[in-house]
Structure formats: C-alpha cells, structure tokens
Structure 1
Amino acid sequence: MSPTPHPSRRGLIAGASGLGLAAALPTWASRDSPASAAPTTAGASAADASAAGVRPLADFTNPVLWQDFADIDVIRVGDTFYYSASTMHYSPGAPILRSWNLVDWEFAGHSVPRLDFGAKYDLDGGRAYVDGIWASTLNHRASENRFYWLGQTDFSRTHVYTATDVEAAWQRIATIPRAYYDAGLLFDGDTPYVAYGNTQISVAQLSDDLTSEVRDEQVFSTPPGIGTLEGARFYKINGNYYIFLTRPANGQYILKSTSPFGPYELRELLLDLPGPIQGGGVPHQGGLVDTPGGDWYYLAFIDAYPGGRVPALAPIGWTGDGWPELQLVGGAWGASYPEPDVPAPPRETRPMTGLDTFDGTALAPHWEWNHNPDTSRFSVDDGLTLATATVTDDLYSARNTLTRRIQGPTSTATIDIDHSALTDGDRAGLALLRDSSACIGLVREGGSTRLAMVDGIAMDSDWNTVSTGTERATADVSGTRIWLRAQADISPGAGRQAHFSYSTDGSSFTPLGPGFTLRHEWQFFMGYRFAIFHYATQTLGGSVRVASFDLTAP
C-alpha cells in the first residue's frame, strides 16, 4: 500500500500546475522509499492545496546563482545544504556554499585552505593555471558528525581534508598516491567508497579513516556510442547504488546496482536538453539531494561563458522501478519551478553581492587569490593593504592578486584605493581576469602617478603569457585616493562587454578607454573574475590600501 504523499510534494505539484508540466509526473520519493511513494499528477490546483491546508509555494528562477561554481557536489546535513565546487588555480580552494532552501546560497568556507601541492601553485618557477582543484567531492559522515573533502591534483595523487565545521580550519589527513579522477565520495554506513574515472568507471573502497585504499575495481565501461562519461557522484538510496555521470558537456547518465561493485545498469537522464540561460549550454555534471521532507532535486551547472559555469536547479521524480527522472517544463529544463518546501531558515542568507570594507583581520570567504598568496605581503585590518610581492611586467605572474566572482548577467565592481605609498614601477588597480584580460590601474613612473586602461593582456592555449597588454587610454591623477570601477556583462552572446571608469569623489565616474570584449571560449574553464592587483616592475617596497570593494547588480 502506497504512503500518503508528504505535504511538501502536494504543494510542489500545486505550484507546478501553472508551469505546463507533463500531464503525469513520475513518482515522488523519499530517501527511505523512492520507488513506493504514491504517483502524483499536475492536475491539482492552488485552490486544492489551500483547501488541504498546504501553503502554496512561490517560484524560483534559474540559474539559482549566476556565479561561476562548477563541478557541483551537493549534500544535506539536517536542514542545511552544502555545495562544493571547482576553483582550479585559485586559493583557498574548494569553496563551500550553504543554503537552507537550495535556492539562496551564501559562502561558508573552503575545504582546501592553501594549494599546498608544489611550487608552481606559489607562482614560483612555474604556474598552475587550469590545474589544482577540480571535479572533487564533499560528504559528511553522520556517525562522527564530520565533513570530508577528497580531490586529485595533477593526475598523480588524491588529497583528503576534514573538518567538523565547514567554517573552521580544514586539515589534510591523507595524500593517497593515486589519482581518483572526477571522484564522488559515498559513506555506506561508515564505509567510504569512491566512484571515479573517465569512460572506464571504477569504485574504490577506502580504509575507515580515508587514508588508504582497501579495494579497487572497474565497474563499468562506457559504450562507444555514448562517448565519454565522467564526473562521478555516488549515492545509496533505498538499497540501490547510483553513480551519476556526465557526458561533457551535453548529457547526464545514471548507473544503478544493488552492490557498490556492480554489475551496473545504465540509463540516460538527459541529453541535449535546452537549458534556462539564453545562449548557454545544457545543464549537466551536478548532484542529487533530498529535502528534509523527502523531495528530490538535481543541481547541475550550465556552461555560460564568459561568466563560467553556473548552477541551475530542477525537481526529480522516481519511476516505479527506482530510476530518477528529471521534471521538465515544455520539454526543457525549467526557467522556473516552485521553490522547495523546506523548514524556515535559522536566519537570513548572507548576500553574494554588496559592500566589503574588509572588517576585522581576515578576508571573507568570498575572496580567493590567483594562486597562493605571499602571506607576508598583505594584511587585513579594517581595510586591505597589498604590498608588492612580485617584480614582473606580467599580471599573470604577479602574486597576491585577489579575485571575486562576477555576478551575472551584469554587475559592477568598485574599489576605493589609497595609492600614496606606491613606488616607481608599481602597477595597481582593478582587472577583468581570465586568459584574455583588461584592467584600469595606477602607473607610478618617474616620481609621478597616472591612470591607465590596458587591454590585450593574453595567454596562449598552454597558458603562457603572449602579451602583457597595451595602454588604450590614460588620465592624470590628483591626490592619493581614487575609486576604480569595472562593469561587466557576462551574458552569453555577442555583447560580452566590460567598461572601466574612475572617480575622485566616489560618486561621479569618468569612463576610461574603449569597451573590452570578454573572451567566451570554454578551454580556460573558469569564468571571468574581478581582480584587485598590485605588483612591481622595478623593486619591491610599495603598497596600496583598499578601503572597500563594492559588488552591485541591477
């Protein structure tokens, strides 16, 4: 006999009736019995829900967060959701976002405090662009109330970090001398398993303390007609084991078995599915998660360059034989769905935009450095002081460049900077940073300071610098305090323009230089970021003080 659907499901179907969903939706599921929940249809109305005493749900819109957070792993601990993503060469790595409703997200911390994987991550004798933290995995072991993060670097080794609180300092507890490529971590009770691989998919059982490998077997070989499958996420639901796999960058497939080591059946979840961002790609490479009330969702990312890869959310139903099915709107991933029916949050979610005055003595978790910083050359003390850490003429080789994700589809970053302590040869300012970059900055030469807009800063396909840029416009500077501004449109398509301006009073801004067309090719993987930089071209010793950074969106 089928149980009565949870009220949250009734509310979701009531809200879905106005979205044009299919006439009959697949079965909704709880974690305990995904295959046995009663089927529901889209025929219920908001009035029906009201008569039943169920609160009608508002709609959310996709993407749920228009910032670059790719290779998603999402979990729930109690009433709280956590989200881990790739950061490549940015440090600290593996950011953790937190939410209470899967729609509104805030920064909570990072799983990898420093990219402690070799000198190139310090910009010392090499560079680590497009290396580092990617397609890693986050999970929580309930028996010890502890979080674990696992990821490989440089195709050679896998690192394991842990913490009891995502906001606390994470500790590395192991480096396993093999690479679990695109890993997904599962705790089956207390036993840790890792699904991983590209085309040939394997499962490894780890020791209980996650410091060594106990067993490793290939469990699936991708049929040639599909091509590549990777990006594993590993689940156990109602006695079945599921490995979620992506077909980059246009599909998602599912493996299902009654044993972690197989044999596995294969089913397609989506392929070439239209996504909710105009000009963007197909939602893929994400994770499954359930709500406290037993509803299921799929959080995936959408290629949306030049901004990067941004998350979109959709509800999941279950077939009678235990396969997840994506809930579509008009044959596509919905631009909107009814919001998840979840408990009230303990507080308001902190915004992903706004004014940062660098209060206290540490950076907020929304900041990440381009490679590891030289910690002796910056300080936070109710303001950010950047002392030059590198002698170079190349922005891509300059240490202590501090970055912030761009809010899409359009946003503006403004810094308030005191440049009284610059020395000859120094360059400091605000950049749009990617493999093709531009900036507005202060140039100190011959005992005087001027302002310059520079573009054409570029790398080749091996991430070597091929151009340090060309000045397109200059302006005189008076006084020692200036506001620098960058406006960016990261909507996929023909626009993709950034513009720079400056102000001497913080309110009236003067444009400087031509518009800059943002590069939209995917090979660099990460999207554009706003970046605060200060480097020397002659000798170290200069510094700037940044009083604030303001990120605003229409």
Structure 2
Amino acid sequence: MRASNVACLLSLALNVPASYANPLPDPVLVDRATNFNNPVLWEDYPDLDVFRVGDVFYYSSSTFAFSPGAPVLKSYDLVNWTPVSHSVPTLNFGNKYNLNSATDRAYVKGIWASTLRHRSSNDMFYWIGCVESSKTYIWTAPNSGAKANGGEVSNWNWTAAATINKCYYDCGVLIDDDDTMYVAFGNSGIQVAQLSKDGLSEVKSQKVFTPSGNTYLEGSRMYKYNGNYYIFVTRPANAEFVLKSKSPWGPYEQKTLVDNISGPLPNAGVSHQGGIVDTKDGKWYYVAFMDSYPGGRIPVAAPITWSSDGWPSLVKDGNAWGKTYPMPVQTSKTVPPPVGTDDFTGSSLSHEWEWNHNPDNSKWKLAGGSGGLVLQTATITDDLFTARNTLTHRIIGPKSTGTFRIDVSQMKDGDRAGAALFRDIAGYIGVYKDGTSSKVVMVNNLNLDSNWSTKSKGTVAATGPTLAAGTTDIWLRVQADITPAFSGTSAQRTTTFWYSTDGSKYTQLGSALAMTNSYTFFTGYRYAAFNHATKALGGSVTVKSFTMQNI
C-alpha cells in the first residue's frame, strides 16, 4: 500500500482522519520505520517506470481506456506513494475513447506500458507511449520547476507535443549524459531509437538485440550506469533479463536478474517487469509488479547490488523476493496515505480518480463551498459499460471498503445511480428512480465478453427499501476482498454491497458477488460512482464524499 505499515498503524493509533489533501500530522514519527514490507503499494499500478529527480521519486503506470491516463505518483522514500498528476489529461487517441456507444468504445485499449522521464536541460517531463500497436504519442510538461526545487514540481502543464507514426512498443526512454534521448522498445526483437534534439521525432532506429529461441520480450527500460548501457526487459510473466553494452547501439550481452522467483505474497504471480532507480546516497532498487488478481498488478521493491564487471543482482531472502527490507531512504518528508475521505473540495478532482473513458466535461462539476461532485446524467442507456462519466477509484488491498455518500434528490424518472465494483465482471448497489419512486437495488451479472462487448447488462438480484419522499442522502458501500488468488489457489474472492440511510447503521443487500481472477482485462477491480439515464437526460446526483478504509 502507499503508506508503509508503520505509517498506516500510526494514523489509526492517533485516530486522525486521513485525507487526500493533508499528510500525516507528525512526519517525524514516520522516521522510526527502519524497514518496509512488500508490497509497497497495494493498488493496481502496473507496467511501472520509476526514476528520481533530486529528492523526489516518480512513478508512471498504465491505465488503458481510463481517463485521465498515465498517472504520475511521487515518493520521498520509494515506499510511501501518492498520485500527483496524469501525463495524458485527455486520451487523444481517437473518437472511441469518448465512449460513444456500445460498439464505439475502447476498453482494454489505450495506454499500455509507457515511459516517463525528466530532462534537466530544459526542465521538462516527457511521457512516451505506443497506443494500439500503431502510433507513438508524446506528451510533455514544460517549465515544471523540478530542476530548481530538488525535484518538486510546481507546474504540471501537460501538452500533447507530438505523434510519431511508428509504434515504440513497451518503451523506455534514456536521457544520456550528453542530453541525447534514446528509446528502447520492441518484443520479438529489441530496438533503440535516437530522438531529435527536442525529443519529439525520430532521428534513426535499429534492432540491437534478438533473443534466442524465439523468446518473447517486452517492458523495455533503458539506463546508463558507470559508462555501460542497460536495457531491462521482461519475459512475461515470470522473468526479468538485463542487456548490457558499451554503446546504445550494441552489441548487448544478456544475463538474468530474476526468473520464477517466489514471494513476497502467496497466491500471487511472479515479481517481474519494472525498473531500477538509485537513491541520493548511491543505493539501487528494483521495483517490479506481481500479478495479484482480482486486485490487479501491484508493485514490490527490493535492493540490488552491482558486480565488479557491471551486472546487477537482486538482494533476496534466501531464494525468494523478500517480504521485508530496510527502508531505502530515511526522511521526515511524507505523502498522504491512501485511506481516508475525499469530500470533493477544491477546484479539481484528486488524481486518485479516473473516468471509465474520456468524460463529457459538460455533465459534471465540483459543487464548491463545502464540497461535493455533481454528476449529471451523460448517457441514455441501460448498459453501465456504455454509460459515460463513471468515476473510478483503485481498491486498496488486501481488504477494504469504499463508501459513497450520495444525494439522490435530483434524480429523474428512469435514472440509475450508485456505487459499483467495476471491471469486466461487475456488480453494484444503487438507486433506481421510476416515476416518483426511488428504491435501493443490488445488481449483479454485469459482464463483458472476451472481445469486451457487453455480454450481460445485469440482473436485479435484491431489492432494498423504497426511499421516503424527500430523502436526500444515502450511503452506499462496496466491501471488497482482493487478497491475491491468481496462482496456487482455487479460492474465489468476493465483494458485498451495503446501504445506510443515516451513515451509521449499514445493511447488506444481496449475496456476495464472486470476482474474477482472470488477468485478461488487465486492470484490477475498482470502486466506482455512476449516474446514467434510461429515459431522458436532465437528472443528477451529488457525490458528497468517498471514504476508503482497510478492514
């Protein structure tokens, strides 16, 4: 999870309500943590790229069709992370990313493994990613302020800077000592491209490595260390290889960093695919992810050492990836923990949130004042997977609740609103407004097929109370167990749905929903708030708060 175990326990012991805007009240106490436990972040942040600018570590991840895309997280110690931006504020990859209809949408497409780096010479962040194995998109954040402020960014002004008519598949960018920018990419063979001086077009590219035995590789990350060039690549989904050369153009030698390494969590996949990063005092760490469905792919970290001839080795616990290691950095700086309450105050959404596709920005707003998020109906549909402006939030593991307080007084006839467990096999608890009557329902059996077309729009599995006339607020809770069940077990993880009319006493509605442990949708389950019409637009709900807590 984003906060270390010690930090989370400290927050609970002090009985201090966490928020997305405020750090823990006494960061000095966090310094007492001398060790950290894996995973470092029990949320779905896959295909990671990690690097350091001054005192700040940054982390970029995949988001597929969720928008905004390519979240940027920051940390001061490589253990506690918080999202601070998105490199792709709007998915500019084609009209289907606007979720136009059931046959014109982009689930599982979009942002896969991409790369992010800060360029000191112009104080600019570059995000580079191939979309749909077709074009490569480049977004930049100029004049960030990171160079002058020890890595702290004063301005994330992301701009769609360029498109290259070539796929840099699963790419990793390196900014060399002479400021030349290189990109490593590919799968059946690894290639390197040299970019122009402004980093927005290609100068040349060539294949630099062909794996033996038709081994499929992906997830390239490129580095320079002690005069050598390195490309880290993964053999999905169980190994990480290191390629080393004296030149960015090769020839490259290959050695294995990890291969089918066990740990640190049972019933999860093998730790692989990620990147390396150094601390200011010269220590190095490898950050990878584990397939941990139904929760998704979650990151783990471990130290690495370097041999005299320039090869990295993972520091293991016996033959396994360690559950516990020493803290990479001791610092009084901290970041907000992932649990707590979001009241939707301020002028923008927290970067914890992503819409199911690009939103219709005319159909939502922050209420201002004491807070709240107004969701107007944006789509007339009976299919949640086709409804625009469904707002999603990653689930924290291993077990947690996500509780939405929603004002439903402005719903119109035919509107459907509520709190969902969102993935390709989904369910929700919500309010159906039919005529002048509003009733609480639990719906299951929302399914996409293997082509990500809607297979089932859902079934009302249980009906709760009809809300009294004049009811404004209802609390809707999703309680999820995303303990890994991806490998070595046939266990079925489940989610339950609850409601309250006073915010105090909760009643479960319906039976538990079985989650899928399949990886093919790639993203893990998410909490979500939705509001769509089945008859006519014009209704709205106000999400007054969202609270996520471990249980």
Which has the higher Rg, Structure 1 or Structure 2?
1
What secondary structure does 2:475 align onto? Answer: strand
Q: Which residue is 1:286 aligned to?
A: 274
CA drift of 1:379 comes to: 0.3
The within-5 A match list for 1:167-182 is: 168-182=156-170
- CA distance in structure 2 between the aligned counterparts of 1:286 and 1:111, rounded to whole angstroms: 18
Q: Which residue is 1:17 aligned to?
A: none
The within-5 A match list for 1:394-433 is: 394-433=383-422
What secondary structure does 1:224 align onto? Answer: helix
Q: Which residue is 2:49 aligned to?
A: 73
Q: Which residue is 1:183 aligned to?
A: 171
- CA distance in structure 2 between the aligned counterparts of 1:546 and 1:205, rounded to whole angstroms: 47
What secondary structure does 2:542 align onto? Answer: strand
Q: 2:113 aligns with which of 135, 150, 154?
A: 135
Q: Which residue is 1:449 aligned to?
A: 438
CA drift of 1:356 comes to: 0.2
- CA distance in structure 2 between the aligned counterparts of 1:146 and 1:473, rounded to whole angstroms: 53
What secondary structure does 1:407 align onto? Answer: coil
- CA distance in structure 1 between the aligned counterparts of 2:378 and 2:284, rounded to whole angstroms: 48
CA drift of 1:59 comes to: 1.2
Deviations 1:37-59 (A, max 9, x none): xxxxxxxxxxxxxxxxxx99711
What secondary structure does 2:213 align onto? Answer: coil
Letter in 1 for 2:72: I
- CA distance in structure 2 between the aligned counterparts of 1:460 and 1:495, rounded to whole angstroms: 20
Q: 2:494 aligns with which of 483, 493, 497?
A: 497
Q: Does the alignment pair 1:523 with 2:493? A: no
- CA distance in structure 1 between the aligned counterparts of 2:426 and 2:407, rounded to whole angstroms: 23
- CA distance in structure 2 between the aligned counterparts of 1:175 and 1:162, rounded to whole angstroms: 12
Q: Which residue is 1:209 aligned to?
A: 198
1:91–1:115 Cα contact (<8 Å) kept = yes
Q: 1:195 aligns with which of 155, 160, 184?
A: 184
Letter in 1 for 2:364: F
- CA distance in structure 1 between the aligned counterparts of 2:237 and 2:188, rounded to whole angstroms: 14
Q: Which residue is 1:44 aligned to?
A: none
CA drift of 1:208 comes to: 1.1
CA drift of 1:320 comes to: 1.3
Q: Which residue is 1:43 aligned to?
A: none
- CA distance in structure 2 between the aligned counterparts of 1:75 and 1:230, rounded to whole angstroms: 19
Q: Which residue is 2:127 aligned to?
A: 149
1:62–1:312 Cα contact (<8 Å) kept = yes
1:107–1:365 Cα contact (<8 Å) kept = yes
Q: Which residue is 2:455 aligned to?
A: 466
CA drift of 1:169 comes to: 2.5
- CA distance in structure 2 between the aligned counterparts of 1:93 and 1:82, rounded to whole angstroms: 16
CA drift of 1:222 comes to: 1.0
Normalized against structure 2, the TM-score is what?
A: 0.89
2:43–2:297 Cα contact (<8 Å) kept = yes
The within-5 A match list for 1:55-454 is: 58-125=34-101, 126-163=104-141, 164-165=143-144, 168-188=156-176, 189-224=178-213, 227-342=215-330, 344-345=331-332, 347-381=333-367, 382-454=371-443
CA drift of 1:199 comes to: 2.1
Letter in 2 for 1:529: R
Deviates more, 1:461-470 or 1:145-154: 145-154
Q: Does the alignment pair 1:484 with 2:476? A: yes
- CA distance in structure 2 between the aligned counterparts of 1:131 and 1:212, rounded to whole angstroms: 24
CA drift of 1:495 comes to: 4.0
What secondary structure does 2:121 align onto? Answer: helix
Q: Does the alignment pair 1:512 with 2:509? A: yes
1:442–1:451 Cα contact (<8 Å) kept = yes
After TM superposition, what 4+ stretches of structure 1 lie above 4 angstroms from structure 2? none
Letter in 1 for 2:503: G
Letter in 2 for 1:84: S
CA drift of 1:518 comes to: 0.9
Letter in 2 for 1:551: M
The 1:149–1:391 alpha-carbon spacing in structure 2 relative to 1, beyond 3 Å, is: same
Q: Which residue is 1:49 aligned to?
A: none
Q: Which residue is 2:25 aligned to?
A: none
2:78–2:329 Cα contact (<8 Å) kept = no
- What number of residue pairs does the alignment pair up? 497
Q: Which residue is 1:30 aligned to?
A: none
Letter in 2 for 1:516: L
Q: Which residue is 1:10 aligned to?
A: none
Segments of structure 2 that go 5 or more residues without pairing to the other structure are 1-30, 145-152, 486-490
- CA distance in structure 1 between the aligned counterparts of 2:32 and 2:98, rounded to whole angstroms: 52
Deviations 1:258-303 (A, max 9, x none): 0000000011111110021110011111000000000000000000
Deviations 1:477-528 (A, max 9, x none): 2222110001000012314110001001101001100001111100000000
Q: Which residue is 2:548 aligned to?
A: 551
Letter in 1 for 2:479: Q
2:130–2:168 Cα contact (<8 Å) kept = yes
Letter in 1 for 2:497: F
Letter in 2 for 1:267: K
- CA distance in structure 1 between the aligned counterparts of 2:116 and 2:318, rounded to whole angstroms: 33
2:80–2:334 Cα contact (<8 Å) kept = no
What secondary structure does 1:351 align onto? Answer: coil
Deviations 1:244-271 (A, max 9, x none): 0001000000100000000000111111
CA drift of 1:361 comes to: 2.5
Deviations 1:112-154 (A, max 9, x none): 0010111100012511111111100011111222211100112
- CA distance in structure 2 between the aligned counterparts of 1:178 and 1:228, rounded to whole angstroms: 20
Letter in 1 for 2:279: T
Letter in 2 for 1:481: D
RMSD of the alignment, in Å?
Answer: 1.2
CA drift of 1:400 comes to: 0.2
Q: Which residue is 1:25 aligned to?
A: none
What secondary structure does 1:468 align onto? Answer: strand
- CA distance in structure 2 between the aligned counterparts of 1:142 and 1:186, rounded to whole angstroms: 12
